[in-house]
Structure 1
Amino acid sequence: MGDLNGKTALVTGSSRGIGRTIAQRLARDGALVAVHYNSDDTAAKETLESIRAAGGQAFALRAELGVPGDAADLFTAFDTELAAYGGEPGLDVLVNNAGTRFRARIDEATEEDFDRTIAVNVKAPFFLIQHGLRRMRDGGRIINVSSAVTRIAHPPQIAYSVAKGGLETLTRTLAKDLGERGITVNAIAPGYVETHVTEARTATPEGRAALAAYSVFNRLGSPADIADVAAFLASDDSRWITGQCIDVTGGSML
């Protein structure tokens, strides 16, 4: 607690699920958190309220990702809202958590689906980092949320796998490029986590058991399992780790 006092963090896609829990954890550790969301005003408000109720600081940013100019628009809003909140200009932690996926094998995928997946999962983080670096202080942290699908072949999510593979390559390349500024760049690869994304597949005992069986612990991950690793990577404790993808799957498919 308190390791991130005086720091400012931006977490994309943080109105619910893993992103919400990461935002809550970074705020609990002392950061002023920009809670980005796409369209769900109610969920974003709930995230803000939960952070503030726990004594943390946060403000919301609404911006669509995967469209032309998305990164510039988001950071224009970031600068405006940060100033209105009274925060010091600049950024210390950028968490690229927002993502999208669709289920289709290669013979079923459309160009529109593929382009949307690449735009949100790879292009948006690329340019968010570009704009974020203009504001990021030396010694900052960039954390990209990848997926176990880069390690475990999953044909129904082939486009998503390709996109997350690109995100991990971006992570390694940037780590080398930004080392001279003391900025670390790492990725987190979750497995099956109990969020709105897995609701349909965990609606029955059989479905829940099937997903839990992937892990050596025979359970689904919780958002906190992922957020705790993100908090470590955001902290000074991770200063000697960069260019890595941390498997946070509970030993899935070992």
Structure 2
Amino acid sequence: MVDLIRDSMAGKVAVIIGVGPGQGISTVRMFINFGAKVAMVSRSGNTYGLVPSSTIKAYKADATDEKQLVAVRDRIIADYGGIDFVVSNVGVWEKLKGEFPEVNDFERILHINLSSHLSVIRTFSQPMKPAGGSIVLVGASRYIFQGNDLAYNVSKSAIEELVRKSAETLRQYNIRVNAVMPGSVGKEDTYYKVFPFNFTKLSERKELEPIEVAMVSAFLASEMSLGIDGQCINVDRGLNSF
């Protein structure tokens, strides 16, 4: 399976948006491992120890600002010649005050956690239309909705319909849209401690290693998942089943 994914990704261009020190950078490392050329996009432009090269470049942009996304998309195309895969790892968790949040706070969380994904789809699907490709959003498992904030839950649950409708719209261009819905994920990049397949037993911990999410993102982006479109895949060690 790993070799087949590598064969389908080798030399292609992946854009990872929302790269941070845990899940984001693990996703970058996973795509690099599979032979993709990777454009890392974050507000800081941090490379988290990776050395920029002809196949790894870091770009600075705020995904909540569509104009910045358009500008960075054009820079990536100028550098790499095209875009094949996009992973949107944009999102924030914030505990808002009160039983019901103020409307402006509610809208702010929705803008970050939901509208940013829409902007990513709008912006990056355009250059992908001639050749097709794959877009993967990162949402959240309903398991972690329990006891969580109203704005967070609404913003994350709406990703499911965004994925379905976007997949329906872009299917004519051979662009697939899916989402990974993780449970609680560790904040530390443990890629080299884990890969390949050095995981704790399911019963030993509830918190996911970032690489567990990264592997599913890579699978959904690859041609190994051609039959999967408009789907939201729970990655929560089965906790949403209980």
- For the aligned pair, the TM-score class normalised by the smaller chain equals 0.7 to 0.9
Classify the secondary structure of the residue corresponding to 1:48.
coil
1:194 aligns with 2:189: no
Q: Which residue of 2 aligns with 1:240?
A: 227
Q: Which residue of 2 aligns with 1:30?
A: 35
Within the candidate set 47, 61, 72, 1:63 is matched to 61
| Deviations 1:98-122, CA, capped at 9 Å, x for gaps | 1112123762523333222111111
* RCO higher in structure (CA 8 A, sep ≥6): 2
CA contact 2:94–2:152 (8 Å) conserved in 1: yes
CA contact 2:77–2:83 (8 Å) conserved in 1: no
Classify the secondary structure of the residue corresponding to 1:91.
coil
Classify the secondary structure of the residue corresponding to 2:105.
helix
Whole-Å separation in 2 of the counterparts to 1:65 and 1:116 = 13
| Deviations 1:10-47, CA, capped at 9 Å, x for gaps | 111113211111111112212111111113x5xx2225
Q: Which residue of 2 aligns with 1:11?
A: 16
1:132 aligns with 2:124: yes
TM-score by length of 1: 0.79
CA contact 1:36–1:63 (8 Å) conserved in 2: yes
Q: Which residue of 2 aligns with 1:148?
A: 141
Classify the secondary structure of the residue corresponding to 1:184.
strand
Aligned length: 224
Within the candidate set 152, 171, 176, 1:184 is matched to 176
Moved over 6 A (4+): none
Q: For the structure 1 residues 152 and 191, does the alpha-carbon distance in structure 2 shift closer, same or farther, using more than 3 Å as the test? A: closer
CA contact 1:216–1:250 (8 Å) conserved in 2: no
Residue 156 of structure 1, CA deviation: 3.0
Q: Which residue of 1 aligns with 2:74?
A: 79
Q: Which residue of 1 aligns with 2:205?
A: 218
Residue 152 of structure 1, CA deviation: 5.2
Q: Which residue of 2 aligns with 1:175?
A: 167
Identity between Structure 1 and Structure 2 (%):
30
Q: Look up the equivalent residue of 1:64 and give its one-letter code.
A: D
Structure 2: gaps of 5 or more residues: 1-5, 189-199
Structure 1: gaps of 5 or more residues: 197-211
